[in-house]
């Protein structure tokens, strides 16, 4: 058996896991789950993840769900060094803080916009929702005091946060003048040999699709 990641390229959490797998140079099989046809609601999939969400990692029978948990698991088990997920308590705490920030602030703000479409078919985005996204970006901009989101080197916190932030153009373009640190950070990450293929391509696909669905976006 081998490691299998279940997901879809348009999903920011899935892309964070793809980038982590490539960064760690871990061989894996990628199985695309068609959310539109309900492949995530089949009895087989729900047995792995009762939430019916992607990503899901199957590591030879060990099932891990939630992108942040998957990225941590992969580093703990397969990393040759602790660069992506430091063992030093203070450094690891900072990485963890950023992972929780992604889950509770950045991704939540983006999901609050897209969920009304996915869950209820609503194609108008209110100013309240775009304001929430801008609020998340402003906090991200503030946290980027150093080259990367958790310090001077790349960690899985960058992979998770950047997968979400790079999907913001699904709602509106990221203003380089307003968010210069974010712009520079995403450009830095894009220089990684695996980032363009395993994150940026999916982010562009997601953004293009979502922008085609909106009938009105209040900025």
Q: What is the pLDDT of residues 144-178, one digit of tens each?
A: 999 999 999 999 999 999 999 999 999 999 999 99
The mean per-residue pLDDT over the stretch 201-207 comes to 98
Q: State the residue range of the domain holding 180.
A: 89-217
Q: Is residue 99 part of a domain?
A: yes
Give pLDDT tens digits for 96-125. Answer: 999 999 999 999 999 999 999 988 899 999
Task: Identify whether the C-beta of residue 102 lies closer than 8 Å to the C-beta of residue 161.
Answer: yes
In a domain, 83, yes or no: no
pLDDT at 170 (0 to 100): 98
* pLDDT given at position 1: 55
Kindly state whether residues 95 and 70 are assigned to the same domain: no
Query: Within this chain, do residues 104 and 163 fall inside the same structural domain, yes or no?
Result: yes
84 within a domain of the structure (yes/no): no
59: part of which helix (H) or strand (E)? strand 56-59
Query: Residues 58, 150: one domain?
Result: no
Instruction: Say which CATH number the domain at 13 has.
Output: 3.40.30.10
Give me the number of domains the chain comprises: 2
**The 29-32 sheet, strands edge to edge:** 29-32, 3-7, 56-59, 62-65
Is residue 137 a part of any domain in this protein? yes
pTM value is 0.97
170 in a domain, yes or no? yes
Q: Work out the percent of the chain whose per-residue pLDDT is above 70.
A: 100
Are residues 19 and 56 located together in one domain of the fold?
A: yes
Instruction: Judge whether 104 counts as a catalytic residue.
Output: no
Asked whether residue 167 falls in the same domain as residue 132, the answer is yes
Identify whether 114 is part of a domain.
yes
Of 2, 11, 167, 207, catalytic: 11
Of 18, 47, 78, at which residue does a domain stop? Answer: 78
Q: Do 205 and 106 reside in the same domain of the chain?
A: yes
Q: Is 180 helix (H, G, I), strand (E, B) or coil?
A: helix
Q: Which of 21, 51, 78 is where one domain is finished?
A: 78
């Amino acid at each position: 058996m081998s490691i299998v990641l279940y997901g879809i390229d348009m999903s920011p959490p899935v892309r964070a896991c793809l980038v982590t797998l490539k960064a760690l140079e871990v061989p894996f099989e990628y199985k695309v789950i068609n959310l539109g046809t309900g492949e995530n609601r089949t009895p087989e999939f729900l047995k792995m993840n009762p939430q019916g969400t992607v990503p899901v990692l199957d590591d030879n029978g060990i099932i891990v769900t939630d992108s942040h948990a998957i990225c941590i698991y992969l580093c703990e088990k397969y990393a040759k060094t602790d660069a992506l997920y430091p063992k030093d308590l203070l450094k690891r705490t900072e990485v963890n803080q950023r992972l929780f920030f992604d889950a509770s602030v950045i991704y939540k703000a983006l999901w609050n916009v897209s969920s009304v479409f996915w869950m209820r078919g609503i194609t108008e985005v209110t100013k309240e929702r775009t304001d929430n996204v801008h609020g998340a970006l402003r906090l991200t901009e503030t946290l980027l005091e150093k080259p990367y989101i958790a310090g001077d080197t790349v960690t899985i916190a960058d992979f998770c946060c950047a997968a979400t932030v790079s999907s913001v153009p699904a709602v509106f373009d990221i203003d380089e003048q307003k968010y210069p640190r974010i712009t520079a950070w995403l450009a830095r990450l894009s220089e990684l040999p695996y980032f363009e293929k395993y994150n940026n391509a999916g982010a562009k696909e997601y953004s293009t699709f979502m922008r085609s669905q909106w009938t009105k976006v209040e900025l």
